[in-house]
Amino acid sequence: MARTGLYQSEVKKARDALIAQGKHPSVDAVRIALGNTGSKTTIHKYLKELGEAEGDAGGRKISISEALQELVARLAAQLQEEGEARIAAIEAQCLENDRLRAGTLAALQKDNEVLAGQRDRADAMSKQEQAAHERTRSALQNESIGRHTAEQQVADLKERLAENERHRLSIEEKHKHAREALEHYRQSVKEQRDQNQRRHEQQVQQLQAEMRQLQQSLAVKQDDITGLNQEGARLVANLSHAQAALYDQQAQGRQLAQQITALQDSARQATTLIAGKEAQAVAMQDQAATAEAKAEASAARVRELELALATARATLASQQEVYSALRDHLAHREQKAEENPKDWADPDEQATVAKPT
């Protein structure tokens, strides 16, 4: 058998060692030197290549005996290699045949074991079938007895079934009437609830309309109050002007009084002058009285306006309180109506809705 990885250098080294020992470097000798490894054909090829290389280099002639010996060695090596190949092929074929026969034998043994197991199972099943047949025969006898008993029970059960069917039909009829009554009651409750809902919506709409009217009235009152405030401001301004005029008249009266006093002092000196001055003083007093009357009238008017303004403010405050209370009441009522509409229905309607379902 050829050794894997045989190199020409190894063959050359073994041949040179044989030549150094004085031995002929034949193919067998080289193969023995290599440890009986390597194909003789490969060794012969390497020796030939080495010989040709050395022959070309040295020009040495090979004798006929050496050439024949080398030819015989090559033929022997080739014959041995072919023989070894044939032997290896035959051995491989024999090994393959042995493996196939062993596999076939194992398969046959396995089939034999399977068949034996099947036979044992068939025997066991046959015994079980016989036992089952005996049990079936006993069961058939018992079944015949039971069948007669069952037929009697079936007749009894049919009679009871007919009675139950009649009872069921009666119950279904009662249930039908009950469902119809319940459906009628539900329909009436639904209609009543719809009426309550519509009535509640109408009440909400009426309250909203009243709220809008109150808001409009409040807006009108606020406009009136604004006008009264403006009128009061104007009257206060007029009162201020009247008081200023009164102050001026009083100052003039004081000046006139001083002048009268001076005239009275000088009356003794000029009687005619005094008479004229007295007449002038009387006229000035009349003017002062007139101014005082006008001032008193203006003060009375101012008091009346102040009283009207206080009354309007009190009326506005009361209206605002009423509006706030009404708005809170409406909001509370809407909240209660949303939480439980039945609480805001009429008592008769509540009694109708509260019937048990």
Kindly report, residue by residue over 140-166, the tens digit of the pLDDT.
Answer: 888 888 888 878 888 888 888 888 888
Token pair in block for residue 20: 């150094």
Q: Say what the pLDDT of residue 264 is.
A: 66
Give how many domains the chain has, as a whole number: 2
Residue 20 lies in a domain: yes
Residue 5: the pLDDT is 59
Q: What is the pLDDT of residues 288-313, one digit of tens each?
A: 678 778 767 867 877 787 787 788 77
Least confident residue range of 66-70, 116-120, 285-289: 66-70
Is 193 contained in some domain? no
The CA–CA distances, whole Å, from 119 to 107, 110, 122, 130 equal 18, 14, 5, 16
**CB–CB of 104/96 below 8 Å?**
no
Chain-centroid distance, C-alpha 290: 92
- pLDDT score at 274: 57
Of 90, 119, 148, the domain-final residue = 119
Query: To the nearest whole percent, how much of the chain has pLDDT over 90?
Result: 1
Cα gap 184→178, rounded to integer Å:
10
Confidence of residue 3 (pLDDT cuts 50, 70, 90): very low
Ramachandran sector of residue 24 (left: φ over 0; alpha: ψ -120 to 50; beta: rest): beta
Q: Are residues 209 and 114 in the same domain?
A: no
From the centroid of its chain, how far is CA 115? 65
Of 284 and 200, more confident: 200
160 occurs within a structural domain: no
- Place 267 in a pLDDT band, splitting at 50, 70 and 90: low
Residue 44: domain span: 8-119
Mean pLDDT taken over the chain: 78
Residue 350 has pLDDT above 50, yes or no: no
Query: Which positions ≥6 away from 313 have C-beta within 8 Å?
Result: 225
Rounded Cα gap, residues 77 and 31, in angstroms: 11
